[in-house]
Structure 1
């Protein structure tokens, strides 16, 4: 006799908890995130952004909770102004920090660009110097030796010398 009543009691408790668990609100907040809560959304949330209300399913027509009435004390506007000033100060501090970080990044990028330009200038100077030396060797009239693909040493003929001279002149034109 105890077992059936225990089962009924257990089923009743389970069903009541399921009802409480389904008493959830779901809406999309101002930043576009879905919010799940057992309390209604703030009054400024439009009805079309309330996705689910307790007992009504998706798109319920239940009204959101009204915002709490402000206390009737005279110092509320001062507190609001203080809060707004603190928020503005925090925003300004964050913007200044962001600006400092961006300035540091810009300085690093400028330094990297300057170093790259210096390296490029040095490379061009080296290539220019090598091309001038090669052109001087090719126009000197001396016999120049070359090594072929098999490793055999040979001498440049006039056609090879002229082709190398043109390449050296082109390198000088590009890099000097």
Structure 2
């Protein structure tokens, strides 16, 4: 009989421990849900009523009951502790990294714009020099794909003059 009594007491302890390892929350329809697994991620923290090991969500309980329970609970209260750091909601380290990344992006963009501007200035100077050579009327020779030297005819010379003028118009502003 004593053995049976110990078995019943042990089983009762196991059942109560299993019951304390359950989650309890209110779902989106307002129904209480009990489970041995954590609630889905779409359940807000304020809707979780009970956590495993009998820990109750501190947002659901009131501050007076926590302070009356024990000095340890009062010290860990999110509302009453003066020594607890107050979070502003902004991670300063992350904000600093973001600011540095933005500054680096601006510097990179500025360097690229300077490189393009320098390239346009060089192209403009070359185009003006070529225009001067074409306008002088002297014969101009080119090397073809075979490596032979050819004198430009009037049609090729006219097309090249138009191309040079287009470069001057676009890069010499």
Q: Paired residue for 1:86?
A: 84
Q: Paired residue for 1:58?
A: none
SS at match of 1:72: helix
How many corresponding residue pairs?
131
1:106 Cα offset (Å)? 1.2
Once the two structures are superposed, what CA deviation does each residue of 1:72-101 show, in whole Å capped at 9, x if it has no partner?
Answer: 258555652355873533x55x52222211
Q: Paired residue for 2:139?
A: 143
> What 5-or-longer segments of structure 1 have no aligned partner?
1-19, 26-37, 55-62
Q: Say whether residues 1:102 and 2:83 are aligned partners.
A: no
Query: Residues of 1 paired with 2:148 and 2:32: CA distance?
Result: 83
Q: Paired residue for 1:12?
A: none
When the two structures are superposed, what TM-score results if normalisation uses the length of structure 2? 0.60
Query: Residues of 2 paired with 1:53 and 1:95: CA distance?
Result: 34
1:149 Cα offset (Å)? 2.1
Describe the shift of the 1:166–1:137 C-alpha distance in structure 2 as closer, same or farther (beyond 3 A). same
1:50 Cα offset (Å)? 4.8
Q: Say whether residues 1:40 and 2:22 are aligned partners.
A: yes
Describe the shift of the 1:168–1:84 C-alpha distance in structure 2 as closer, same or farther (beyond 3 A). farther
CA contact (8 A) 2:22 2:35 kept: no
CA contact (8 A) 2:67 2:74 kept: no
> What 5-or-longer segments of structure 2 have no aligned partner?
1-13, 38-48, 58-64
- How much is the aligned-residue C-alpha RMSD, in angstroms? 3.6
Q: Say whether residues 1:155 and 2:151 are aligned partners.
A: yes
